[in-house]
Amino acid sequence: MRTLTIGIIALQGDVAEHQNMLHNALDNLGLKGNIIMIKHHGSVKSCDGIILTGGESTTLSSLLISEGINEEIIEAHNKRIPIMGTCAGMIVLAKEGDEQVKKTGQYLLSLMNIKVKRNIFGRQKDSFETEIDVKFLDRPYKGVFIRAPAIVEFGSTVTPLSYMNNVVVAAEEDNLLVLAFHPELTNDTRMHEYFLNKVLDLIENK
Amino acid sequence: MELENLKHGTELIKRGFAKMQKGGVIMDVTTPEQAKIAENAGAVAVMALQAVPADIRKAGGVARMADPEIVSSIIDVVTIPVMAKARIGHFVEAEILESLGVDMVDESEVLTPADDQYHIDKTQYNVPFVCGARNLGEALRRIYEGAAMIRTKGEAGTGDVSEAVRHMKQIMGEIHELKGKNKEELLMYARDIEAPSELLLETAKLQRLPVVNFAAGGIATPADAALMMRLGSDGIFVGSGIFKAENPEIMAKAIVKAANNYDNPKVLAEVSKGIGSGMKGTSISTIPQEESLQIRGW
């Protein structure tokens, strides 16, 4: 089997945590992987999969543009390269934001047919962890929600994977996987393994 | 989903919040207008204050928590997290800030300490705390009390980065020293630096602090920010350096760009061009010992 190249957009946020989880997930699946940190334009096109981390989505948005990475991610998406976005990464992948996004004129990559609402559960003191059910998992997953967003509307091509109250906190649309919570802050590699399997599927079906 | 199954304010949630700030720049602001400028420039958070440290230093007297009206008005206008400072040991100020919805409390030596023996028991809050430190022992004592983020103390309000450099090198140097020591030696080291032993063992194993470690206190230019990142900071606090600069908007953007391109001198040269003069500042060597802020806290 060939070595997978997974790029982590390393502009801001919990990049090292995603890197650790990816290493562990690759090991668990018995895969060989090359994890690259993307801080500047030029290396997105060599990736078989891309991860957009948690962080501050407004900062992430402006750095994506100023480093010229935004267009490269859109190109990768057009080639159906799997992209996983967690928390801020989910916001940036959305087609539509809420009034907070509009008010700040925040840039979105606009790739996924979802409408997100930022900080839907409140401010940091309202942040929480809880066990959630996820469609493709046989046991619950520890959802770590930090000033988390959620999906409030989605298109017919989107598959919701997990609900919290009445909103969607994990979803999938073709090559895109978005999570409102932070799998990289847990020790549970199942989300990253699911993502790596998406990457494998795409390569095999090419 | 049943609401009672939600766990708030856990160590994971508090340290996790701090991790989301990594690689970012947190800016001191005193008005909603400044907060907007910071947000537009790409700040990951703002620190809401009554006055920036340079002005606190100049004014003298007792420095306290900011007026809640200022804090609330800043919370209202930005979507990024808002932090605010409480005096060392002043757990009521911290409770007030938490009730306002502040996302992180800075138990800060920039304000006049309210307790000369005890820091706030930060484990009792849902809101995470950041605390200043000058060395590894101090950092681990703060983490033991519940701090979810550490920052160097530096010397706030001076625009002189040398103390932040000293504190970052001190902490990093002590962590490197732990390498190769056996458990017995590590426990001895913990006693020597008055650090909780469990945390010291964890730090030795991780070869870094168990929480995020930012640089603060005297950072005034893009080059300063890049310098601190090169020394291993997880991110940057800029206090007076933005709004005491000639052109705050340009300075704010330049420092954000520098924090992301800290290892690229060409980009740093580009972002440092024509940004106007930085804050005037005060050289550390001219500040009498009794006016030093970093010696507050222990």
| Distance in Å, alpha carbon of A36 to nearest chain B alpha carbon | 16
Q: Of all residues in chain A, what percent carry a pLDDT higher than 70?
A: 99
pLDDT tens, residue by residue, A103-154: 888 999 999 999 999 999 999 999 999 999 999 999 999 999 999 999 999 9
H or E stretch covering B195? none
Instruction: Name the band, by pLDDT with cuts 50, 70 and 90, for residue A203.
Output: confident
To 10 degrees, the CA torsion angle through A175, A181, A187, A189? Answer: -10
Asked if A146's CB is within 8 angstroms of B39's CB, the reply is no
**Which residues in chain B are closer than 8 Å to A163, comparing Cβ atoms?**
1
Q: Is B162 assigned to a binding site?
A: no
pLDDT the model gives residue B57: 87
Indicate which residues of A carry an active-site annotation. 87, 182, 184
pLDDT the model gives residue B4: 58
B16 vs A10, A40, A146: nearest CB: A146
Residue with tokens 């080639």: A79
ipTM above 0.90, yes or no: yes
Q: Rounded to two decimals, what is the model's pTM?
A: 0.96
Asked if B260's CB is within 8 angstroms of A146's CB, the reply is no
**Which residues in chain A are closer than 8 Å to B12, comparing Cβ atoms?**
129, 144, 185
**Structural domains of chain B sorted by starting position, each given as residue range(s) with its CATH number in brackets:** 3-284 (3.20.20.70)
**Which residues in chain B are closer than 8 Å to A54, comparing Cβ atoms?**
19-20
Q: Is B239 assigned to a binding site?
A: yes
As a whole number of angstroms, the distance between CA A196 and CA B259 comes to 31
**Structural domains of chain A sorted by starting position, each given as residue range(s) with its CATH number in brackets:** 4-204 (3.40.50.880)
Q: Is B121 assigned to a binding site?
A: no
Query: Residue A206 above 80 pLDDT?
Result: no
pLDDT tens, residue by residue, A44-70: 999 999 999 999 999 999 999 999 999
**Low-confidence residues of chain B, pLDDT below 70?**
1-4
DSSP state of B112: P
Angle at B257 between CA A106 and CA B86, to 5 degrees: 80
pLDDT the model gives residue B3: 55
As a whole number of angstroms, the distance between CA B177 and CA A77 comes to 46
Neighbours of B163 (CB within 10 A): 22
